[in-house]
Amino acid sequence: MPRSFRLIVTGGGTGGHTYPALTAVRTLRDRLAAGGGTLDVLWIGTPDGLEARVAPAEGIAFTTVATGKIRRAANPLKMVSPANVRDMARVPLGIAQARKAVADFRPDVVLATGGYVAVPAGMAARMCRRPLVLHEQTVRLGLANRRLAGSATRIAVSSESSLPLLPEAVRGIAVVTGNPVRPEVLAGHPDKAVHALGLHGFARHLPTVYVTGGAQGAQQINDLVRDALPWLLERANIVHQCGPAHVDALRRQAAALRPDLASRYHLTGFVGPELPDVLALADLVISRSGAGTLAELTALGKPAVFVPLASSAGNEQTHNARHLAEAGAAVALTGEVTAGALCEAAGPLLTDPALRAAMAARARAHGRPDAADRLVDVILSAASG
C-alpha cells in the first residue's frame, strides 16, 4: 500500500453519482489508514449539486468548474436550444479550470462517477496524463462517461450486462465492480425499525412492504398506493415514505381506513437514520429503479416492484428495472401503470413466501456488497500502472 495517495473525485449533481464516490473515498481512506497511509482528496463539482454539501461535510476539499448541461430531447433539432448552446459555450472554460486544478493537485488517480461536471475534469486528466477511472452506476453508460470512455485508464461498471454495451474499443479496460453501497445500509435490524417508528400495530404474521419514491417522494407511486391501499393492507403491513410535501393529502385519504387496516399503515414524509432498519424489516419494496436503489436492494436480497421514472436521463431507470425483471429478480411496471397493475404484480409476492424467497435469492445473486472494495482495487491498480 502507498504511504500517501492523492485522489481527485469528480461527478455529482444527484445522489446516484455522489454517494458511490463518497463511499469509495471512505473505503480507500480506511484501507490506507490500516496500512499507516494517508489520503488527500479534492472533489471537483458544481456549486449547486449535492456534492457541494456532501464533500465539505466529509472534510473533503471542494472546488467548482464551469459546466455545460445538455438538455436532451427526442427530436435532435430541439437539442440545439439557446440553453444548450449557452451551456456548451461554457465547456472550454470548465476544461481550462479543471486542467489547472489537476495540474496543481497532481493526483495519483482521477475518479469520475458521472454527471455533466465530470466531463471537464475527465478531459483534464487526459491532458495532464493522469490515470482516469470511470465508474458507471447504471446498466448503460451515461452521457458523461460515454464522452470520457476513450480517455479512461479503467472503466468500472456495476453489472456484467454492461460489458457488451460498451464500445468495443474500451471493453478490454472494463471491470465489473458493482455500485458501492454505504455499509450502514447493510447492517439494519427489523426490531429497531419497529421501535423507532412505533410499528406496534403491525401484524407480524403478514409481510411488510416498504414504499418509497426517494427523499422527495414520487407522486406517481403515492397515487398508485393510495388507490390500492385497502387491498394492500388486507395482505400486508406498509411503511410508506411519501415525501414531506405529500403527507397531509395522504393522511386525509388514510383517515377513511378501517381501524384494523389503519394500524398496519405507517405514513411518513422522510425516512432518515432508520432506513437500514426499515429495509431489514421489509419483505417487499415498491420504489423507483435508480442505480443506487438497485445496488442496495440487490445487496440486501430484497424482492421489489419497480415503477421506473419515465423521464430519467436516457431512460436509464427503465433499463435498470428491466435488467432485473428479465432475471426474475424483480417486477418492472412500465408504461401506463395503474393501481390494478400494481396489485397484480404485488399480490403473488405478498401471499406466497416461497415466491418472495426465490425472488430474493435471484436479487441477491445480482448484488455486490463488496463493490466499494472492488472499486478501490481498480483505483489502486490504475495508479500503479
pLDDT band at residue 14 under the 50/70/90 scheme: confident
Q: What contacts 247, CB < 8 A, 6 or more positions away?
A: 267, 268, 269
- Residue 279's pLDDT is what? 98
pLDDT the model gives residue 82: 65
- pLDDT of 87: 61
- Which domains, ranges and CATH numbers included, belong to the chain? 4-180+370-384 (3.40.50.2000), 183-365 (3.40.50.2000)
Has residue 351 got a pLDDT over 90?
yes
Q: 219: which residues sit within 8 A by CB, 6+ positions away?
A: 213, 246
pLDDT at 260: 95
- Rounded to two decimals, the pTM is 0.88
- Per-residue pLDDT at 178: 96
Spatial CB neighbours of 75, under 8 Å, sequence gap ≥ 6: none
User: Given pLDDT bands bounded at 50, 70 and 90, which one contains residue 42?
Assistant: very high
Residue pLDDT, tens place only, 48-63: 989 999 999 999 999 9
Given a cut of 50, is residue 244 above it in pLDDT? yes
- pLDDT confidence bin for 248, thresholds 50/70/90: very high
pLDDT digits (tens, 9 = 90+) for 284-342: 999 999 999 999 999 999 999 999 998 776 688 999 999 999 999 999 999 889 999 99
- Give the mean model confidence (pLDDT) for residues 139-164: 92
What per-residue confidence (pLDDT) applies to 71?
47
135 or 84, higher pLDDT: 135
Q: Is residue 119's pLDDT more than 80?
A: yes
* Average pLDDT score, the chain: 93
Distance in angstroms (rounded) separating the CA atoms of residues 53 and 22: 12
Give one DSSP letter per residue of 319-360, joined into a string.
HHHHHHHHTTS-EE--SS--HHHHHHHHHHHHH-HHHHHHHH
